[in-house]
């Protein structure tokens, strides 16, 4: 029931939930792919959690493993993927690997849902919108066809689609990009999930529509009281909309922190580079875009050491020999962790930077000068 636009039941549910149990808890997840070139370590030891009703933003370049992570959580990995033993994915406290068929059916698509990047291609082109909505509804909930159709109409209205009844009979190609993404969201939220994973939900959309969709997601999340994972390569998207941010690189989390802390006190050089690469309106026109030199590695049989070393202005010999582990440094709170030996804003990091500047190059051979610090 709704009071003042808020779904009372959902909120009550959230409040009554044991706030200690995160909606999603991923522990040491490793997903490797069997390819002709060897085992690709798409996700190589990721630990995260999302509290009920909160938003986690996952940021990274393509190849960082963020999408594979989401697919692993949603149980839609390709057949060639291997989830290494030792990995755990827990939803509301239950290990998803131990679910029976019935429980699995009630989970994926219903209590945990996903929104994909490209609305043009993530809807089945040969089925009507109504058919796709009712299909999902009836799969997870006991409903008759007419009940499902009514609910479908409600859903479309809820996500802000005008003339919902008419839309039910239309096909995806009859709708614009923004509308389609709304339908995709409606599909995902059809069964009132506790967790929504949005994988680059706005990347394929016009800038004007992007804002609308993100605002929509935010509103729906509030009304439903659900947890959300927002995956993107664009820090700007998560900056204002997530409670916590995790930065991924080469299959690992290199830094994670509550949003404000991350932007104020970033520690990992990669995070700094990402933040620095966001173009600002305040910059004068024709300012060069600050890109990070090099490309992310494809992780097959990685050598020891930090994966970012080749592109990092702070790289010292230690970075090539040892792999840094996620730790807090005690000054910025428990929930801020980073994996770096010479973090930004620390004496060790400053020393490393000055040393490299003097030598003109990092220990990994990357040439640096005063412009390299982003």
Contact residues: another protein, CB under 8 A: 33, 35-37, 40, 42, 62-63, 65, 67-68, 71, 74, 76, 78-81, 104-105, 107-110, 113-114, 116, 118, 121-127, 135-136, 139-140, 171, 173-174, 184, 187-188, 298
Q: Which is nearer to another protein, 140 or 336 (CB)?
A: 140
Minimum distance of another protein from residue 202's CB (angstroms): 16
Rounded-to-integer distance, Cα 14 and Cα 16, Å: 5
Rounded-to-integer distance, Cα 15 and Cα 357, Å: 52
Minimum distance of another protein from residue 31's CB (angstroms): 8
User: In sequence order, what DSSP letters do the residues of 78-109 get, joined into one string?
Assistant: -TTEEE-TT-EEEETTEEGGG--HHHHHHHBT
Q: Which is nearer to another protein, 105 or 211 (CB)?
A: 105
> Length of the chain in residues, anyone?
374
CA angle 46, 58, 348 (to 5 degrees): 70
> Other C-beta atoms within 10 Å of 324: how many?
21
- Token digits of residue 303: 């050598």
Helix extents (H) in 93-189: 101-107, 129-140, 145-158, 164-168, 177-189
Cβ proximity of 118 and 148 under 8 Å:
no
Q: Which is nearer to another protein, 42 or 248 (CB)?
A: 42
Q: Which is nearer to another protein, 158 or 171 (CB)?
A: 171
Kind of pairing, strands 24-35 and 38-50? Answer: antiparallel
Q: Which is nearer to another protein, 184 or 340 (CB)?
A: 184
Rounded-to-integer distance, Cα 78 and Cα 94, Å: 23
Q: Which is nearer to another protein, 39 or 366 (CB)?
A: 39
CA 277 remoteness from chain centre? 19
Minimum distance of another protein from residue 279's CB (angstroms): 26
Rounded-to-integer distance, Cα 77 and Cα 60, Å: 19
Q: Which is nearer to another protein, 28 or 34 (CB)?
A: 34
Minimum distance of another protein from residue 33's CB (angstroms): 5
Minimum distance of another protein from residue 146's CB (angstroms): 20
Cβ proximity of 239 and 259 under 8 Å:
yes
Minimum distance of another protein from residue 131's CB (angstroms): 9
Minimum distance of another protein from residue 74's CB (angstroms): 5
Rounded-to-integer distance, Cα 113 and Cα 108, Å: 6
> Looking at 131-286, which runs of residues are DSSP E strands?
195-199, 227-232, 244-249, 252-258
Q: Which is nearer to another protein, 109 or 160 (CB)?
A: 109
Minimum distance of another protein from residue 43's CB (angstroms): 9
Q: Which is nearer to another protein, 5 or 125 (CB)?
A: 125
Minimum distance of another protein from residue 47's CB (angstroms): 20
Helix (H, G, I), strand (E, B) or coil at 11: helix
- Token digits of residue 98: 């131990």
């Amino acid at each position: 029931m709704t009071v003042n636009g808020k779904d009372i039941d959902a909120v009550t549910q959230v409040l009554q939930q044991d706030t200690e149990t995160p909606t999603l808890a991923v522990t040491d997840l490793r997903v490797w792919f069997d390819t002709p070139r060897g085992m690709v370590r798409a996700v190589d030891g990721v630990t995260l959690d999302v509290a009920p009703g909160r938003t986690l933003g996952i940021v990274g370049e393509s190849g960082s493993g963020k999408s594979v992570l989401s697919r692993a959580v949603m149980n839609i990995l390709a057949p060639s993927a291997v989830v290494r033993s030792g990995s755990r994915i827990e939803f509301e406290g239950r290990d998803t690997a131990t679910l029976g068929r019935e429980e699995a059916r009630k989970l994926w698509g219903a209590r945990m849902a996903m929104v994909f990047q490209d609305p043009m291609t993530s809807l089945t082109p040969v089925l009507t919108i109504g058919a796709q909505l009712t299909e999902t509804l009836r799969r997870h909930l006991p409903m008759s066809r007419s009940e499902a159709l009514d609910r479908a109409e409600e859903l479309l209205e809820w996500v802000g689609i005008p003339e919902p009844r008419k839309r039910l009979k239309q096909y995806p190609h009859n709708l614009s990009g923004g509308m389609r993404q709304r339908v995709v969201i409606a599909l995902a939220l059809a069964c009132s999930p506790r967790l929504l994973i949005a994988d680059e939900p706005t990347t394929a959309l016009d800038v004007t529509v992007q804002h609308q969709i993100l605002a929509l997601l935010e509103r729906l999340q509030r009304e439903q009281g659900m947890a959300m994972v927002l995956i993107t390569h664009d820090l700007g998207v998560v900056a204002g909309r997530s409670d916590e941010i995790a930065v991924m690189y080469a299959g690992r989390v290199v830094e994670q922190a509550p949003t404000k802390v991350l932007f104020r006190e970033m520690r990992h050089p990669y995070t700094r580079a990402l933040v620095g690469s966001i173009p600002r309106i305040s910059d004068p026109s024709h300012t060069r875009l600050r890109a990070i030199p090099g490309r992310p590695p494809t992780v097959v049989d990685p050598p020891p050491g930090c994966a970012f070393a080749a592109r990092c202005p702070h790289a010292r010999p230690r970075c090539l020999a040892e792999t840094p582990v996620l730790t807090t440094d005690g000054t910025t709170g428990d929930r801020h962790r980073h994996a770096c030996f010479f973090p930004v804003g620390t004496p060790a990091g400053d020393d490393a930077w000055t040393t490299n500047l003097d030598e003109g190059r990092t220990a990994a051979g990357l040439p640096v000068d005063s412009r390299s610090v982003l």
